[in-house]
Amino acid sequence: MSVIVRQIGHSGIYASVLALGTWAIGGDAAWGRQDDGISIRAIHEGLDKGINLIDTAPAYGFGHSERVVGEALKGRRDKVILSTKCGLVWDGLGGSKHLERDGKIVCKNLSKEAILRGAEESLRNLQTDYIDIFITHWQSAPPYLTPVSETMEALLALKKEGKIRAIGVSNVSCAQVEEYLSCGDIALVQQKYSMLDRKVEEELLPLCEKKDLTFQAYSPLEQGLLTGNIGRDTVLPEEDVRRRSIWYQPQNREKVISMLEGFGPLCEKYGCSLSNLVIAWMAAQGGKINILCGARKPAHVLENVKGGEIELDGQDVLNMRRDIENLTAL
């Protein structure tokens, strides 16, 4: 078996349906410290087994994730579809405050200057002369508002120069997607989507299908909760991003774990793990879906690959949805 491959939008770029996310590889306070040697082994494991789409961002460890990915791709760049992002800055350019992490104030800024400067920095960090998919990370917000037309002007200029091959957008509304499309071609929408968070099914996912855009689901494993590896008694460190998630609260975590235990017979049927089953269910939600799983351990990457190879029977997909829809958070 091999990992299923799908086109990104109508860009002519073909990528594995399972992509590797490298947020945690950045080693910042959100996910805690990480050994770079292990991260590089994890990335190589994915590439060796058929994952060819790697996602990173300057904001993941303030350039560290990009630098580790760049190291890992030395000598293999041409075999990889590489996506990184723009529009979050912390180096004095200014913008609208997004968050504070490791003593730095991170701002949203999608101005032409921020995008062009960010692209050069990412190219240096990644040790490459082109980025396959360049994604606006978070959308412009008051008080520092940039019109989408200015953002797209910068992105289209980078595309014309050959520094990027395709444009993606993240954390967007349908109206924002329409606005981007009115200024030029985009190929991919990267948005939160998991069994436990299905808001996008109402409008954004159908819009992507209609416009022939790849819908790339981030945090599809609900940041680890849907792998079965987070137990009823698992205690997360104080600064861990997951402590804020409603599904990690004890009363809700219990419900999720019980639902996952109920998927046991399906895991047996497909000879797969829970995370495999979850990835395969996500990939079955539409022909333009790409599943962006974060993993920083070689064993996790290796295990997830199998999820990108499994095609579930339609009835199993529906039965799982019934259980998922029965779950409500308190």
Ligand X SMILES: NC(=O)c1ccc[n+]([C@@H]2O[C@H](COP(=O)([O-])OP(=O)(O)OC[C@H]3O[C@@H](n4cnc5c(N)ncnc54)[C@H](OP(=O)(O)O)[C@@H]3O)[C@@H](O)[C@H]2O)c1
Could you list the active site residues? 60
**Judged by CB under 6 A, which stretch of 111-119, 282-290, 295-303, 321-329 contacts ligand X?**
295-303
Among 89, 188, 293, 305, binds ligand X (CB under 6 A): 293
220 contributes a contact to ligand X by CB under 6 A: yes
CA–CA separation, 177 vs 70, rounded Å?
A: 30
275 contributes a contact to ligand X by CB under 6 A: yes
Sequence-ordered list of residues with C-beta below 8 angstroms from that of 17, at least 6 positions apart, any chain: 3, 4, 5, 6, 283, 289, 290, 291, 308
Among 41, 297, 323, 327, binds ligand X (CB under 6 A): 297
CA 13 to chain centroid: 17
294 contributes a contact to ligand X by CB under 6 A: yes
Residue nearest to ligand X (CB): 294
What is the helix (H) or strand (E) element at residue 319, kind and residue range?
helix 314-325
Q: What mask of x and - would describe binding to ligand X in positions 56 to 95, judged by CB under 6 A?
A: ----------------------------------------
Among 295, 305, 310, 312, binds ligand X (CB under 6 A): 295
Share in percent of the chain as helix, strand, coil (round to 5): 45, 20, 35
Among 229, 234, 249, 258, binds ligand X (CB under 6 A): 229
Among 3, 9, 11, 23, binds ligand X (CB under 6 A): 23
User: Phi, psi at residue 276, to the nearest 5°?
Assistant: -60, -45
**Closest alpha carbon to 37 in 47, 49, 27, 51:** 27
Task: Give whole-number Cα distances, 18 to 25, 60, 295, in Å.
Answer: 17, 20, 12
User: What ranges make up the beta strands (E) of the chain?
Assistant: 5-7, 14-16, 18-21, 53-55, 81-86, 88-89, 96-101, 104-108, 131-136, 164-170, 188-192, 214-218, 289-294
Q: Which is nearer to ligand X, 214 or 219 (CB)?
A: 219
136 contributes a contact to ligand X by CB under 6 A: no
Among 126, 133, 158, 292, binds ligand X (CB under 6 A): 292
Q: Which is nearer to ligand X, 161 or 173 (CB)?
A: 173
253 contributes a contact to ligand X by CB under 6 A: no
User: Phi, psi at residue 86, to the nearest 5°?
Assistant: -145, 165
Size of interface with ligand X, in residues (CB under 6 A): 28
45 contributes a contact to ligand X by CB under 6 A: no
223 contributes a contact to ligand X by CB under 6 A: yes
Q: For 64-185, where are the alpha helices, taking DSSP H only?
A: 64-72, 112-126, 148-160, 174-183
Q: What mask of x and - would describe binding to ligand X in positions 92 to 111, judged by CB under 6 A?
A: --------------------
Chain contacts with ligand X (rule: CB under 6 A): 21-24, 55, 137, 170-171, 190, 218-224, 227, 229, 275, 292-297, 300, 303-304
